[in-house]
Amino acid sequence: MTAPPALTALHATPLDLGGRTALVTGAAGGIGRACTLRLAAAGAKVRAVDRDGAGLEALAESSRDLPGTVEPHVLDLTDLDAAELAATGTDVLVNNAGLQLVRPIEEFPPDVFHTVLTVMLEAPFRLIRGALPHMYGQGWGRVVNVSSVHGLRASAYKSAYVAAKHGLEGLSKTTALEGAAHGVTSNCVSPGYVRTPLVEKQIADQARAHGIPEERVLSEVLLQDTAVKRLIEPEDVAEAVAYLCGPRASFVTGTSLVLDGGWTAH
Ligand SMILES: NC(=O)c1ccc[n+]([C@@H]2O[C@H](COP(=O)([O-])OP(=O)(O)OC[C@H]3O[C@@H](n4cnc5c(N)ncnc54)[C@H](O)[C@@H]3O)[C@@H](O)[C@H]2O)c1
């Protein structure tokens, strides 16, 4: 039996970002790369921002056969004026770039704390600030902030990261309240541990901070509070981002889409 036409159309509505421009930060890396490819697969013209020029070139190469386009834009997001300018005229903004240092507070270098807050909180503010006038002008825009379960829960030895992500969740909610009257939604996507270089790089630091061998870090530290005992893939996170940009998500704003394998169910 075939479904009535109206129902078929409702359930088959694909994500179509043809004619839309998107900006993704941290696009050369794991989640940002997956988000860029997902949005380009939906037809968007994606401005791919990262400080890693070689990574961006590889990404552009991988995107060749997709319906949309990927434009590499090499930029260090600590240059806040340049970040704000780069966001001008974009319809979809994905604030994703991030970095991590695992260290007790009394040993945490203040300059690294400052850099983490700059890249992961102040740059998103400046990018949103740069993007909103165009979004407001056309009455449509999507801001997606790649936060973390660490935007909702703390872990020891991650003071800068947890502070930045909690701040990002607040910035996202404020953006939602201000943007609602202009057709702009703002949400966080908040994953648990994702299989990316950012996680691989922190294994040694975690082992040192917790005083355990590296091979025990995954099960005893990273996945300790997670009911589903595995890492999540970058493509799963990108699909959540795509949903928030899609035609059925216009009422979803000021919230966090949590992909944490049950971590926050505790
Ligand atoms: N991997 C995880 O387990 C996980 C979990 C939750 C949230 N997140 C978040 O997802 C986002 C992406 O993380 P990922 O795991 O893909 O990391 P990643 O290290 O693979 O990618 C991060 C990207 O950000 C870029 N970047 C860092 N500093 C920059 C700067 N100053 N200017 C421009 N680009 C810069 C890097 O070059 C890199 O390409 C981050 O915000 C991270 O906090 C990751």
User: Which of 31, 114, 149 for a ligand 1 pocket mutation test, highest count of atoms within 8 Å of Cβ?
Assistant: 31
Q: Is the pLDDT of residue 11 over 70?
A: no
Domain ranges within the chain, ordered by starting residue: 16-192+233-258
Q: How many CB atoms lie within 10 A of CB 222?
A: 17
Q: Is the pLDDT of residue 170 over 70?
A: yes
Protein residue closest via CA to atom 23 of ligand 1: 26
14 confidence band (pLDDT: 50, 70, 90): confident
| Burial call 89-128: b when 16+ CB within 10 Å, e when fewer | ebbbbbbbbbbbbbbeeeebeeeebebbbbbbbbbbbbbb
pLDDT given at position 200: 87
Pocket of ligand 1 (CB under 6 A): 26, 28-32, 50-52, 55, 76-78, 96-99, 119, 146, 148, 191, 193-194, 196-199
Residue pointed to by tokens 């070139």: 57
Per-residue tokens: 151: 């935007």
What is the rounded CA–CA span in Å between residue 173 and residue 50? 25
pTM of the model: 0.95
Share the mean pLDDT of the chain.
95
pLDDT given at position 38: 98
User: Which of 99, 114, 115, 230 for a ligand 1 pocket mutation test, highest count of atoms within 8 Å of Cβ?
Assistant: 99
Whole-angstrom CA distances from 79 to 31, 122, 144, 159 are: 22, 10, 21, 23
Q: Which residues are known catalytic residues?
A: 161
Q: Is the pLDDT of residue 3 over 60?
A: no
CATH number of 16-192+233-258: 3.40.50.720
Cα–ligand 1 centroid distance for 194 (angstroms): 11
